[in-house]
Amino acid sequence: MITESVTAIGNEKVRQEESRRSMWRQSHSIMFRPESEQVLREQDPIIPNFRFKPQVYVAGLGMTIGSCFIGIPIVGVPVEERTVAISIFVCARG
């Protein structure tokens, strides 16, 4: 029973490789490229110099638009940026 299982697994592997080679000859798609020809390479970023908007991390009575909070902030304004008056416009750095 073990011999039959090993033989069946080997035959299935051979069939898969033959099918893969046939699909490679027909399509030349990288999905079917033989393992011996696969070369790993580092790709450049798809969108170079693209930066996501920094998050403002401020909560309060108001709304966040982009990376700025407009309203009365309750939490999230760093101590060094606090003023005596209530600021109604807080933007993230960067």
Contact (Cβ atoms closer than 8 angstroms) between residue 61 and residue 71? yes
Are the C-beta atoms of residues 71 and 60 closer than 8 Å to each other?
A: yes
| Pair 32, 62 in one domain | no
Determine the Cα–Cα distance for residues 78 and 92; give it in Å rounded to an integer.
11
Measured distance CA(90)–CA(66) in Å, rounded: 11
Residue 85 gets which letter from DSSP? S
Same domain, 21 and 49: no
**Domain extent at residue 88:** 45-94
The continuous run of DSSP H or E covering 74 comes out as strand 68-75
Q: What is the pLDDT of residues 3-58, one digit of tens each?
A: 999 999 999 999 988 888 888 889 888 777 777 665 666 767 677 666 667 778 88
pTM of the model: 0.40
Do 25 and 51 fall within a single domain? Answer: no
If asked whether residues 58 and 90 sit together in one domain, one would say yes
